[in-house]
Amino acid sequence: MRLLTHNMLSSNIKGVANGFPLRIEVEKVVEKEVEINHDFLRNIFPKIDWKALSDASRIMGYHELPEEPPEPSVLEADIEFLRKFHHALLELHLEEGALLCPESGRKFPVNKGIPNMLLLEDEV
């Protein structure tokens, strides 16, 4: 599971007011190279919750992202920054671990890189 995915997911359990962002419990992180596409990064940037991404990347062991979101103009000019953004968003994988609902603590397991977001009958 990459951090782009993590940035989109929340715990939608009945009764939970705010299930985003999910806390990450790391068991196994793997780095996998992905070809960089600057257009994609610029297009997706406005949809990203920066704090969630920045915090999550630290938990995964990557400390290069600034805590404050950059100005959009940085994306146009700063290739080095794009590299870091790309690395955090797409090249860090949680292979094994779990995502935890911030309110209820309920665990959504991540196995073989795939998060299981299915809710149980009483969470619906």
Partner 1 sequence: MWYLCVFYHRLLDYRKPEFESLAELFGAFGDKRSFDPHPRDRALRWRLPKDHHPDSPFHFVHLPSEEIARNIANRSLLVKGIYELWGEGNDYEELEEAVKSYPDERKLPYLSPESTFKITVDSFGKVLSLQEQNEQIQGFSYIPFKGRVNLKNPDHNFWLMETDAHETNNGLPPVVQRRIFFGREVGVADRKLIPMYQLKTRNYLGPTAMDAEIAFLMANQAQAAPGKLVYDPFVGTGSILVSAAHFGAMTMGADIDIRVVRDGHGPDCNVWSNFKQYGLPMPICLLRADNNLPPWRPGLKEVFDAIICDPPYGVRAGGRKTGGRKLLKGIVGPYTIPDDKRADHIPSTAAYTLFECVHDLLDLAARMLLVATSEQMLSSRYSRVLLTMVKTSSYTEEVALAARIKHLEFKENHLKWLENGNLHSSVFSPADAESGDSKESKESKPKYRGKYV
Please provide the size of the chain in residues: 124
Minimum Å gap between C-beta 94 and partner 1 is 10
Comparing CA positions, the residue from 8, 7, 22, 24 lying closest to residue 104 is 22
Restricting to residues 69-98, which ones interact with partner 1 according to CB under 8 A? 90
Minimum Å gap between C-beta 4 and partner 1 is 6
Residue 85: how many CB atoms within 10 A of its CB? 25
Is 68 near partner 1 (CB under 8 A)?
no
CA distances from 28 to 22, 54, 106 (A): 17, 19, 20
Question: What is the binding site for partner 1 (CB under 8 A)?
Answer: 1-2, 4-5, 8-12, 19-21, 32, 34-35, 37, 39-40, 43-44, 47, 49, 90, 107, 109, 111-122, 124
